Amino acid sequence: MAENPSHTPHEAPVVLSDQPGSFAREVLAKRHPALIQRVRDAFPYSRRQHSALDTLLDEITNGVVEPLAPSDPSAPSDPSAHDHEQWAEWGREYFGRPWFDAPFLWAESYFYRRLLEAVEYFGPGPWQGVDPFAPFKQAELRAPAVDEQLQALNTLPSTPAHERATALLHASLWGNRADLGFRVTEENPGTATHDLVADDASTLWHLLPTGAGSTVAVVADNSGQELLPDLILIDHLLTHHHATRVTLHVKPHPYYVSDAMTADVIDSLHRLTHAPGEPGAIGDRLRTAIATDHLEIRTHPFFCAPLPYTDMPPDLREELSTATLTILKGDLNYRRLVGDRLWDPTTPFADLSAHFPTPVAALRTLKSDVITGLDQKTLDTLERSGSAWRTSGTHALIQVRR
Ligand SMILES: O=P(O)(O)OC[C@@]1(O)O[C@H](CO)[C@@H](O)[C@@H]1O
């Protein structure tokens, strides 16, 4: 194993991908190559795009990390060059070294940036802005399972308020299993457990008393079967006066396969508004909320950066600071919040999230090695179970720091 310079007595080791058999290694060695193949199969790409995908595949399996290709000098303002300087700085330590030696968080993020480059997403040219993951996202949103989930919402108006709030929070939480990146290699994710490994839901609701005029920031994760329940939860927060204003933060470009962008919010709203009954009513209310600034869709380049939230730039920090509570969805946001490190699982979540500018709630199904804030008894039970509880997506948590 390569020496891990980031391991100081005060901080746990950074997750790397250099350990054979580790989860992080599997993602780089198996998930990323499989993803290249899926994207390739989904589009009528040109010879140049296929060749760029071949080069990327060869590099991630046998080569060393290469910088982004130089921008096209013949194009006066090459849009593909928008973040070159940034990546040159973020990658300085890792260029020329095997992919498996870079921090897992960095390597994954850079892989998605390079995949977008290979398919010419940033242009200039006809493929500019063509989301390579759109076919997978759209298929998921059209799935018959979604019709059933939407129909089930028709029982909501007659469900007692407390039960309804819990059901919607849990739907948003477990929606995080619908992560298409995860499914590239985990076709049949195991059965979800129902007990949460940590459940601070009561603190979350205490932070949002009705009628207090709160603002909630929701940092979204996956589109489709995660974003739909997120939107339904947002409607609940607004209509039941837990918040007067919600900001929904999405990715500025395709990321981790199914991560939500503005286009995905539009598609999900369309799916809701075109469904009969309660889902249609929810969709209409959400559109009204957007039109009246009670719900605002926001994005920021930092949401696709290979960095933890401790490195959040001042403008985003300032923007989020106005929220009463930030809800961070999913596994990657959790890794970025507490740091992508092999913490002692009983390290308090509140200590590791203290840097975040607002009270924060993490809603996450467990799909990577990082875990914090467990009590010893829960940890012992999980360890005794012999299951891959950290990474299989069968376990979930709601952790809140006031
Ligand atoms: O953030 P999400 O969508 O919940 O999960 C992202 C994820 O699928 O990607 C990484 C591996 O590729 C892991 O952190 C996690 O399993």
| Domains assigned to the chain | 23-118 (1.20.930), 134-401 (3.40.50.10880)
pLDDT tens profile 139-177? 999 999 999 999 999 999 999 989 999 999 999 999 999
Cβ atoms within 10 Å, residue 127? 18
Give backbone dihedrals phi and psi of 24, rounded to 5 degrees, phi first.
-60, -40
Burial of 354 (0-12, 13-18, 19+ CB in 10 A): exposed
Residue 6 pLDDT exceeds 70: no
Q: Is the CB of 368 under 6 A from ligand 1?
A: yes
pTM for this one? 0.95
Q: How confident is the model at residue 238 (pLDDT cuts 50, 70, 90)?
A: very high
Region 227-256 average pLDDT: 98
Confidence of residue 1 (pLDDT cuts 50, 70, 90): very low
Above pLDDT 90, what percent of the chain? 88
Tell me what pLDDT residue 38 has: 98
Pairs from 228-231 (Cβ < 8 Å, separation ≥ 24): 228/141, 228/146, 228/149, 228/150, 228/175, 228/268, 228/271, 228/272, 229/149, 229/168, 229/171, 229/172, 229/174, 229/175, 230/172, 230/175, 230/329, 231/265, 231/268, 231/269, 231/272, 231/282, 231/286
For ligand 1, atom 15, name the residue with the nearest CA: 367
Half-sphere exposure (CA, 13 Å, Cβ side) for 214? 25
Half-sphere exposure (CA, 13 Å, Cβ side) for 104? 25
Q: Which of the four pLDDT bands, split at 50, 70 and 90, describes residue 223?
A: very high
Q: What is the DSSP string of 289-321?
A: HHHTTSEEEEE-GGGGSSS-GGG--HHHHHHHH
Stretch 307-335: mean pLDDT, rounded?
A: 98
Atom 3, ligand 1: residue with shortest CA distance: 179
Calculate the CA 267 to chain-centre distance.
Answer: 18
Instruction: Using the structure block, give the residue that is written with the tokens 């290469």.
Output: 66
Ligand 1 pocket, residue 153 CB under 6 Å: no
In the predicted structure, residue 3 carries a pLDDT above the cut 60: no
Tokens representing residue 45 in the block: 């790409």
ipTM of this complex: 0.96
Q: Name the pLDDT band for 62 (thresholds 50, 70, 90).
A: very high
The residue-averaged pLDDT of 123-128 equals: 95
Atom of ligand 1 nearest to the CA of 335: 14
Closest ligand 1 atom, residue 330 Cα: 4
**Quick one: 55 exposed, middle or buried, by C-beta within 10 A (0-12, 13-18, 19+)?**
middle
Confidence check: pLDDT of 77 > 90:
no
353-387 pLDDT per residue, tens: 999 999 999 999 999 999 999 999 999 999 999 99
Question: Where residue 81 falls among pLDDT bands split at 50, 70, 90?
Answer: confident
221 lines ligand 1 (CB under 6 A): yes
Res 192: pLDDT: 74
For residue 292, how far is its CA from the centre of ligand 1 (angstroms)? Answer: 34
pLDDT of residue 178: 81
pLDDT at residue 186 in the model: 62
Residue 387 half-sphere exposure, CB side, CA atoms within 13 Å? 18
Substitution candidate for ligand 1 out of 227, 256, 261, 395 with most atoms within 8 A of CB: 256
pLDDT band of residue 73 (cuts 50, 70, 90) is low
